[in-house]
Amino acid sequence: MRLLVTGATGKVGQAFLPAFLQEPRFAGWGVVALCNNRVIEAGDRLSVVKGSVADPDVVSVALSGVTHVLHLAAVKETPDQAIDVALKGLYLLLDHFCRKGDARQFILLSGDCVVGHIFQDYPEPITEQSPRKAYPGAYALTKVLEEVMIEQVGIQSGLNWTTLRAPWIMEKDDFRQAFALGEEQFGGPPWSALLDPARHQRLREGRCFPVMRDAQGGYLKRSFIHVDDLVRAILSSIDNAKAFGQLFNIAMNEPVDYGRVSERVRAVGGLEPADIETSFHSNWLDNSKARKILGWRPEIDLDGLVERAWTYQRAADDPRIVWYPG
């Protein structure tokens, strides 16, 4: 068996590759990493192909001998690259892969942007059957089209596909930096867009922790997943017949309640909560299907997210990386 991984140098790819290579179930497998802007070193079981997924010749070379594909490559709010990477790239991978006689499974990593996470209102937990309602922007739109494309190719060609839909992916001190009030904030929405300049400055100068309220006035609830739990879900899906032709939500068992976060951060870091009114909607990405069919369960809960993020110390050779803008 041979697995092709796109986006191998990204956040998920860097966590996945060593876990895959160390997993006894895949001891006899080879891996090929398709890299473009960043390149990793080849190893005993790991080969590297450099080039773009939008180049049919590169895709053809990368798929040589491949039986399984894990498509992690993505761009976010970069419209000039969105068509090439998200649509043309996925189309070429699927088209070439489906022509292979030994093609066994194609796994796509998607995101909860396809259901609009905090931008769209859902009156009940979001399951795999909930309607797709992308929030504004190129990234969410392309992810919706990716999910539909792989499903339809499966219908047309009989391809064994699997889509894993993840919410905001955390590693290292990401969760702490998501609440940072200064330039070091990770992700969004930026606090400068939610606060008037004077209050934003006051909160930055004090030992304050921003706590978003949702459109109904309660504490915002939003789904997260730690990269380690996501990697375990991917490993559970590879060459698993139960995952063929299936879409799975891969999220924590419960959404993160920003009010509970503020309580834990006050205990851990001594920061005082500061409520911020927003028009966002609380959501719950339901992972029941993945737990039942894959036998997967997330191990890192809210306490684990807070503990890992607030105790993590970055070394000088471990700079924060913006994997893609937006």
| 186-241 pLDDT, tens digit each | 887 889 899 999 999 999 988 899 999 999 999 999 999 999 999 999 999 999 99
Asked whether residue 288 is domain-assigned, the answer is no
CATH number of the domain within which 94 lies: 3.40.50.720
238 and 179 in one domain? no
178 and 229 in one domain? no
180 and 162 in one domain? no
What does the alpha-carbon distance between residue 218 and residue 159 come to, in Å, rounded to a whole number? 44
The pLDDT of residue 77 is 62
State both tokens at 237. 């899906």
The pLDDT of residue 321 is 64
Averaged pLDDT for residues 38-48: 86
What does the alpha-carbon distance between residue 299 and residue 190 come to, in Å, rounded to a whole number? 29
202 and 140 in one domain? no
Q: Which domain holds residue 184?
A: 174-221+254-283+300-311
Asked whether residue 267 is domain-assigned, the answer is yes
Q: How many CB atoms lie within 10 A of CB 316?
A: 5
Q: Which residues contact 250 (CB under 8 A, 6 or more apart)?
A: 164, 165, 166, 225, 229, 230, 233, 287, 290, 296
230 and 107 in one domain? yes
State both tokens at 238. 């590879």
Task: Express each pLDDT in 166-191 by its tens digit.
Answer: 999 999 999 999 999 988 888 878 89
264 and 193 in one domain? yes
- Kindly report the average pLDDT of the chain as a whole number: 92
Residue 248 scores a pLDDT above 90:
yes
> pTM for this one?
0.94
37 and 97 in one domain? yes
Contact (Cβ atoms closer than 8 angstroms) between residue 20 and residue 239: no
Residue 326 scores a pLDDT above 80:
no
The pLDDT of residue 322 is 57
160 and 36 in one domain? yes
Residue 27 scores a pLDDT above 70:
yes
Residue 266 scores a pLDDT above 90:
no
122 and 180 in one domain? no
Asked whether residue 318 is domain-assigned, the answer is no
70 and 15 in one domain? yes
The pLDDT of residue 315 is 83
Residue 289 confidence class, pLDDT cut points 50, 70, 90 = very high
Task: Express each pLDDT in 98-107 by its tens digit.
Answer: 999 999 999 9
Asked whether residue 323 is domain-assigned, the answer is no
Cα maximum dimension of the chain: 63
How many folded domains does the chain comprise? Answer: 2
Residue 114 scores a pLDDT above 90:
yes
Asked whether residue 115 is domain-assigned, the answer is yes
Residue 265 scores a pLDDT above 90:
no
82 and 94 in one domain? yes
State both tokens at 44. 């005993």
Asked whether residue 320 is domain-assigned, the answer is no
The pLDDT of residue 137 is 87
Asked whether residue 317 is domain-assigned, the answer is no
Closest by alpha carbon to 87, among 169, 167, 148? 148
What does the alpha-carbon distance between residue 160 and residue 111 come to, in Å, rounded to a whole number? 20
The pLDDT of residue 37 is 77
Q: Please tell me whether residue 250 adopts helix, strand or coil conformation.
A: coil
Contact (Cβ atoms closer than 8 angstroms) between residue 180 and residue 207: no
Q: Find the angle CA(280)-CA(163)-CA(221) to the nearest 5 degrees.
A: 20
Asked whether residue 63 is domain-assigned, the answer is yes
207 and 73 in one domain? no
What does the alpha-carbon distance between residue 301 and residue 287 come to, in Å, rounded to a whole number? 13
Residue 270 scores a pLDDT above 50:
yes
Higher pLDDT, 34 or 320: 34
The pLDDT of residue 325 is 42
State both tokens at 299. 């191990």
Higher pLDDT, 41 or 323: 41
Q: What is the DSSP string of 24-50?
A: GGGTT-EEEEEESSS-----SSEEEEE
